[in-house]
Amino acid sequence: MLRLLQQSPLSARIGIGIVLLNILVALFAPLIAPYGETSVVGEVWEMFSDTSYLGTDHIGRDLFTRMVYGARNTIALAFITTMISFLFGSLLGFLAAVKGRWVDQLLSRAVDIIMAFPTLIFALMVLSILGSSIPVLVCTIALLDSTRVYRLARAVAMDIEVMEYVEAARLRGERTWWIMRQEILPNAMPPLVAEFGLRFCFIFLFIASLSFLGLGIQPPLADWGGMVRENAGAITFGIYTPLIPAAAIALLTVGVNLVVDWFLHLSSGLHD
């Protein structure tokens, strides 16, 4: 791993640095933040000072503290949702490829039906009916995103499923679960890991978009998308406050994509 990092391009090192910084901030948010997540410490939209490094928000809470807790809430929620969507989508995709016939048709048609609905409209409809609680938000986004993971996992698994070593495993009498776990999964890992990074970016941006629309992570919990919406009125007065969480969203997205690009280059076997 150290040798790979030493040989990595500058763009990959920058991306890894951005991702690690955000992870550390998310993990140690209570130790880094100078105030409580919901504490009011000053006037509305104060400029930066010794007591408020990034100023205050629309009700006088410390913006630096809100950014730190927003990293923990947004990143943790996006990561958990991505994990659920990959576990669910990959399992069903491998199962459809190995079983084939009516299992493949049933699962594929169900996925096609879900994908026929525009993602944002489907999410807004579900969240409007069931509410914007964290479990509903996670399950809704994971269900929508698992359809994309299913299509990729099924396509990769169908290419692997026709290999001779899979046929040999069948002739030995190995069960479906063993073939999926021992033969298909290890060979499907490179594209799935790369897709994991891309899906994380999509879910991260999707959660921020829902929070901006008022249906994502609900106040008083800090969330970068919600912070942009809450402080959008500051732009009218020439105050930069809403640009800070927007820049944090863009920076993390760029960082993850830089790491994913490097991993795709490694897994492709190409040389500079």
Q: What is the pLDDT of residues 22-71, one digit of tens each?
A: 999 999 999 999 998 888 888 888 888 888 888 888 888 999 999 999 99
Give the start-to-end residue ranges of the domains of the chain.
Answer: 11-267
Q: What is the 3-state secondary structure (H, E, C) of the chain?
A: CHHHHHHCCHHHHHHHHHHHHHHHHHHCHHHHCCCCCCCECCCCCCCCCCCCCCCECCCCEEHHHHHHHHHHHHHHHHHHHHHHHHHHHHHHHHHHHHHCHHHHHHHHHHHHHHHHCCHHHHHHHHHHHHCCCHHHHHHHHHHHHHHHHHHHHHHHHHHHHCCHHHHHHHHCCCCHHHHHHHHHHHHHHHHHHHHHHHHHHHHHHHHHHHHHCCCCCCCCCCCHHHHHHHCHHHHHHCCCCCHHHHHHHHHHHHHHHHHHHHHHHHHHCCCC
Give pTM, 2 decimals.
Answer: 0.87
**Tens-place pLDDT, residues 63-104:** 999 999 999 998 999 999 999 999 999 999 999 988 878 888
Domain 11-267 has CATH 1.50.10.10: no
